[in-house]
Amino acid sequence: MDKPRITIAIDGFSSCGKSTMAKALARHIGYIYIDSGAMYRAVTLYCLDHGLIDGDTVNTTALLPLMNDIQIDFRPDARSGKTHTFLNGRDVEQEIRSMRVSDKVSPVSAIPFVRTAMVAAQQKMGERKGIVMDGRDIGTTVFPHAELKIFVTASAETRAQRRVDELRAKGVEVDFDEVVANINKRDHIDQTRKESPLRKADDAILLDNSHMTIEAQDKWLIDRYEETIKKLQY
Ligand code: DC
């Protein structure tokens, strides 16, 4: 019997390895992987490039009529084969991971009309199922009927160290304390915003991966996927 194609939602705090596990699972089972955070990061970059952010305040009056001008898509990079984020036809994969963008992404992703536009685009991408999407509100708002939902967490220090290692591997030097502060600030804004705050869906499975290797985590996730498929088949 063919395996049913399902929707897999992976939510959780920033830098807890969601995208690493989501990507590995998608590759393993031949599903599409979408990094929804990259979309909010791309909108943030657009705002910065257009001078729409002052401190932590976004000029929403100026941004609203420009929303139709923001085209985000994912394409494989010709050299590495890895998926890159494109903003209006420009490869912004590197730029959207910078501290400049990380520092402003929470206020931008708290804007209701930005969320409405991103959620609609994400739902369209998932229309045919066979998708793994990671983010903050995937199991609660984007795909509330996803067959498999995971909520990932890890301590703030573990997450900061992972982000520092990731940036250093790319040759970007950052201060550990600055990264911890950025993570704590984003956690706070993400959990307390009015629109789709970060929270575990009631039917999501909780995973604390503070003390887990990447291999153990990948295996854990594949097991949850197989379990879900079995339940659907019988
Ligand atoms: O996963 P990330 O750290 O790249 O996400 C960047 C920011 O985007 C994060 O601070 C919260 C926001 N975000 C969101 O509000 N909803 C999502 N589905 C994904 C990300």
Query: Cα of 21 to ligand 1 centre, how many Å?
Result: 16
pLDDT at position 220: 97
- Given pLDDT bands bounded at 50, 70 and 90, which one contains residue 1? low
- Given a cut of 90, whether residue 81 has pLDDT beyond it is no
Query: Cα of 171 to ligand 1 centre, how many Å?
Result: 23
- Given a cut of 70, whether residue 215 has pLDDT beyond it is yes
Residues of the chain above pLDDT 90, percent: 77
pLDDT at position 229: 97
Q: What is the pTM of this model?
A: 0.91
Q: What are the CB-based long-range contacts (under 8 Å, 24+) for 57-65? A: 57/107, 58/104, 58/107, 58/108, 58/111, 60/111, 60/113, 63/111, 63/114, 64/113
Best of 44, 136, 199 for a ligand 1 pocket test (most atoms within 8 Å of beta carbon): 136
Which residue has the CA at smallest separation from atom 5 of ligand 1?
37
**Cα(first)–Cα(last) distance of the chain, in Å?**
11
- Given a cut of 90, whether residue 77 has pLDDT beyond it is no
The phi and psi torsions of 151 (rounded to 5 degrees) equal -120, 115
Domains of the chain: 7-233 (3.40.50.300)
Query: 109-137, pLDDT tens digit by residue?
Result: 999 999 999 999 999 999 999 999 999 99
Find all residues with CB under 8 Å of 182, minimum gap 6, and list them: 99, 102, 103
Mean pLDDT for 99-112 is 93
Query: 35-62, pLDDT tens digit by residue?
Result: 999 999 999 999 999 999 999 999 999 9
pLDDT at position 166: 83
Mean pLDDT for 64-81 is 93
Count CB neighbours of 215 within 10 A: 9
- Given a cut of 90, whether residue 144 has pLDDT beyond it is yes
Query: 169-213, pLDDT tens digit by residue?
Result: 888 888 999 999 988 988 898 889 888 889 999 999 999 999 999
Pocket lining: 44 vs ligand 1, CB cutoff 6 Å? no
Which residue has the CA at smallest separation from atom 16 of ligand 1?
136
Pocket lining: 139 vs ligand 1, CB cutoff 6 Å? no
Pocket lining: 137 vs ligand 1, CB cutoff 6 Å? yes
